[in-house]
A and B are shown apart, each in its own frame.
Chain A
Amino acid sequence: MSSIQIENKSAETETDLKELAQDIVQRAMQGGATAAECVIREGDEFSTLVRLGEVETLKESGSKSIGVRIFHGQRAASTHSSDFTRAGLDRMLSSALELAKITSEDPFSGIPEPSQLGSISGDLDLYSADVYSLPGEERISYARRAEKAALESDPRIKNSEGGSFDAATGHKILANSHGFVGEYRRSYCSVAAIPIAQDEKGGMQRDYWFSVARSLNRLESPEQVGKVAAQRTIRRLGARKVKTQQVPIIFDPLVANSILGHIFEGVNGDSVYRGASFLAGKLGEKIAAPQVTVIDDGTMVGGFGTSPFDGEGIPTRRTVVIENGVLTSYVLNTYTAKKLGFQTTANASRGLAGTPGIGPGNYFLQPGTKTPQQIIGNVKEGLYVTEFLGMGVNLVTGDYSRGASGLWISGGELSYPVEEITVAGNLKDMFLNISEIANDLEFRGSVASPTIRIDGLTVGGE
């Protein structure tokens, strides 16, 4: 296989896109907008999947798209396009101006104040060209090595959904009519393995493991990834159901992550101002156990959730969301901050279309001091959850009910695998009942949690 040539985006292209974004904003203003914002995104992606040693897919491409959001007084509208021809851009602009005629006057709408705009300075270490530095054969070899390590680590690993290697780079430009213009690039690469194990009765189990990094240098070895994937898969073989009961539950970091995510959704300004969250109006109140401190930090060097400015051009920052169990801040963009009478926390997330949403920077639960083994060791009978199935979460009521699988804890040790069970409770109680937080915080994405223990949940089974 020959290596694939990636087109190098020259510095000239960069300037062009910044100028283009500013030009679009200017033309929107000339067309009658009272405020405007333009975003351009371009990116390249490469991915390969190797299954049972053979290349199964190889995908490579680049794309570029543009979006504009305009205001006509207090009315807003947005349009987007992948057509960068003069005619395509004209059409995008005129549609936006037309569309703004039919939306409603919203007293809280608008772009941020000029004084709020800016970028954090310094090298945030978000981009490394090395994600594309490997020749084609080497990339495939990463995927192949991960799968091979999984297949070779145990005779019961008999099949596989493959090993994969992915790389991507993205470039984002934002400009608005208060004169803000900013851009940043981010890169990403990952290696993963999804082995399938089979027991003597023919029962199959699948699990996975992965490593992800902004630079190839920081990626874990494919062998390590494959080995962990195999261990995670093998330990699920022979899983059984358990009786319906209430026991302490330990959540491994990947699943604890999703519970932490519910806190983010619950304190998201959008859910808060419309009362669509059981955490609305709880600022200053105790909503979690005293050892719970949750932070959102969009400024961490090299972080997966780091950017110099948010989706509205506001410098990112560090926000303590929960301090020692007390809710200290909602997470906000400009609109929801105005609605609630606060300052934005620079959490605006912006796709090409529509109004900005709210998304995390690097959002995490502060680790404790015990090891996960110590925490498991303190549980006589309990459940260690390693995977959730389904989305049974209701933020309005806090009702929580999800499919789960994992391992049963007996006498402080992981004893046998369990599956086809549910874990149910209410998030209000769950956050308050986080009784242990381990020391194993590790970022494998923009949201990260250590292992946690929660008491009082119902395990549904036989």
Chain B
Amino acid sequence: MTYRSPYPARGHPITVDNNHFFFQHYGLSDRDLERYLAAALSAGGDYADLYFEYLSSTSLSVDESMVKSASQGISAGCGIRVISGERTGYAYTDDLSSSRILHAARTAALIAKGPAKTPTAGFRQKAARSLYPVALPSVDAEITAKVELVMRADTAARGYDPRIKEVRAGYADELRTILVVGSDGTFAEDSQPLARMNVSCIAKTETNSARGSAGGGGRVALDFFFGEKTPEYFAKEAARQSILQLDAREAPAGDMEVVLGPGWPGVLIHEAVGHGLEADFNRKQTSAFAGLIGKKVASEKCTVVDNGVMPWRRGSINVDDEGHATQETVLIEKGILKGYLSDKLSARLMGMADTGNGRRESYEHIPMPRMTNTYLLAGEDEPEDIIRSVKRGIYAVNFGGGQVDITNGKFVFSASEAYMIEDGHVTAPIRGATLIGNGPDALTRVSMVGNDLKLDEGIGTCGKDGQAVPVGVGMPTTKLDRLTVGGTAKREAGGFMQ
């Protein structure tokens, strides 16, 4: 690697002991697992795996200064996959009794046609990282502490400005315990905590209304919200955005220079290049990036990585949902496309290494290549110089989300907080607008990259084929020489703003 990771790992233990959760709670044994895998391969096939999941979750919210709802839930199940060539058979059960798992295994087995295969004898549990070693998972923490968090957020947001009229604050956490075993001897366990807070506000005047929202979290314990990122921090940020938007003017329309602020605007990286570099689309040649490895797809100022091993991050995981260790993968290095994000199936079929990006929403879902934390590395420009270089354009610092059409490469992301840049100065706030571009060439227009890399606060969820997984995004202040801004501003003397 030709760069240093901007996030040095903290001192944390190298291995983690998950105490064989499913052995203890469901009486599973190695023998059972071997039996299930044998049933899965009873009609042949190249590979089979079992994914056991136990998910416990809590959520509560404050609305009109009342904790109107609180809920807790538990779901457990096992998904069984059989791969035969390019085919995948899948079945799951939410009943972890032997008979139900065997039934599901035999159902998944029907994808293959041939003599039974025998799984590799003996499981090998590899030493795993421990990227989120929480002493007490937040899901097991006192509920009263969580109530305090949302109430404090409500108070802080309302106290920010008398024009803040509506506040909703939510807190949600979960603990996902997984066990993945494969017919190749794979045996991996993990306990994945996840927590987040969200605050949304509506500011009102006699003539105007505007909304603002903020939130954050990660694979952290509850103390994160009492120390590093407090409810007041998120509440003030949401309130600030809604007050700001009260005076926003119409956004311009058309192609122009765009400066993206650090952090959450990294959703650009996620949409413009991240999805297009997931191996499944490239194996099937359905991505606009297919066949571009080794080619220039971005300006030489751009190096993009996907990093699943950042401590405490929302997008991080010790092992992926196929039991493979996660890693840091360089996708684009100085503008040159270097690699794809792969899972087991695509790695095997494409003859490439497994990057540990096989993820799934739950035991009900087939794993596929997914991002973890994806970001553009810092460059050398000073953020102020970047703003100063723009004659007329927009400066977008917060985004709602984005979407991409993998095949033609067109992507959008919607700014929720943005400003005009006029003669090198950030001026008036503008109303929300969608930005649209073309993935394979958007990053070729990156002319300046700031030295201020930041990751988002930890609220991102990525959807693909109906499956949602938590992810992170990030970028430093970045200038694109041209991007289309979807505003409504009417004609100004002789033409649209340009």
* Interface residues in chain A, defined as those with a beta carbon under 8 Å from any beta carbon in chain B: 1-2, 4, 51, 54-65, 67, 76-84, 88, 91-92, 95-96, 98-100, 102-106, 109, 136, 159, 161, 196, 203-206, 236, 239, 241, 244-245, 274-276, 278, 352-355, 387, 389-392, 394, 396-397, 399, 401-403, 405, 419-426, 458-462
Contacts and interface: CB of A to CB of B under 8 A. Distances in A.
Given A54-B87, A389-B405, A458 B253 contact: yes
A310 B391 CA distance: 56
6 tightest A-B CB contacts, nearest first: A422-B486, A390-B412, A403-B412, A104-B66, A244-B254, A206-B407
Interface string B189-220: 00000000000001010001111000000000
Given A61-B92, A390-B401, 9 more contacts: A1-B113, A4-B107, A56-B86, A80-B71, A161-B286, A276-B211, A391-B403, A461-B254, A461-B255
Contacts of B29: none
B155 to A, nearest CB: 14
Interface in B408-450: 408, 410-414, 431-434, 436-438
A81 B75 contact: yes
Contacts of B77: 63, 82
Contacts of A236: 408
A102 B70 contact: yes
Contact of B210 (A4, A63, A396): A396
A99 B408 contact: no
B132 interface: no
7 contacts: A59-B91, A78-B69, A106-B66, A275-B204, A396-B209, A397-B209, A422-B433
Interface string B62-102: 01101111111111110000000011111111110000000
Nearest to B416: A394
Contact of A276 (B95, B166, B432, B437): B166
A425 B245 CA distance: 17
Nearest to A419: B410
Contacts of A276: 166, 202, 211
Contact of B251 (A4, A59, A196, A401): A401
B251 A65 contact: no
B74 A82 contact: yes
Contacts of B210: 396-397
Interface residues of B, number: 81
A402 B434 contact: yes
Nearest to A206: B407
B230 interface: no
A105 B77 CA distance: 36
B199 to A, nearest CB: 14
A276 B210 CA distance: 9
Nearest to B64: A274
Contacts of A391: 400-401, 403, 414
B485 interface: yes
B73 A63 contact: no
Contacts of A57: 87-90, 366
Contacts of B68: 76, 103-104, 106, 109, 355
B59 interface: yes
Given A353-B73, A389-B403, A460 B412 contact: no
Contact of B432 (A92, A245, A394, A459): A394
Contact of A420 (B73, B204, B484): B484
Contacts of A79: 71-73
B209 A161 contact: no
B178 to A, nearest CB: 15
B31 interface: no
B284 A161 contact: yes
B364 A61 contact: yes
Given A4-B107, A458-B488, A353 B251 contact: no
Nearest to A57: B88
Interface of B: 59-60, 63-64, 66-77, 86-95, 104, 107, 110-111, 113, 143-144, 147, 165-166, 202, 204, 208-211, 245, 251, 253-255, 284-286, 288, 364, 366, 400-408, 410-414, 431-434, 436-438, 484-489, 496
A170 to B, nearest CB: 14
B75 A65 contact: yes
A102 B486 contact: no
A228 to B, nearest CB: 18
Nearest to A276: B202
A91 to B, nearest CB: 8
Given A51-B284, A79-B73, A196-B286, A399 B432 contact: yes
A204 B285 CA distance: 10
B432 A403 contact: no
Given A419-B408, A424-B253, A460 B94 contact: no
A60 B433 CA distance: 42
Contacts of B89: 57-59
A403 B486 contact: yes
Contacts of A77: 69-71
Contact of B410 (A59, A65, A106, A403): A403
A196 B254 CA distance: 29
B74 A81 contact: yes
A60 B93 CA distance: 10
A80 B72 CA distance: 7
Contact of B93 (A61, A95, A109): A61
Nearest to B58: A99
A365 B255 CA distance: 35
A98 B412 CA distance: 45
B42 to A, nearest CB: 12
B413 A390 contact: yes
A80 B485 contact: no
A239 to B, nearest CB: 7
Contacts of A394: 211, 431-432
A353 B58 CA distance: 10
A205 B484 contact: no
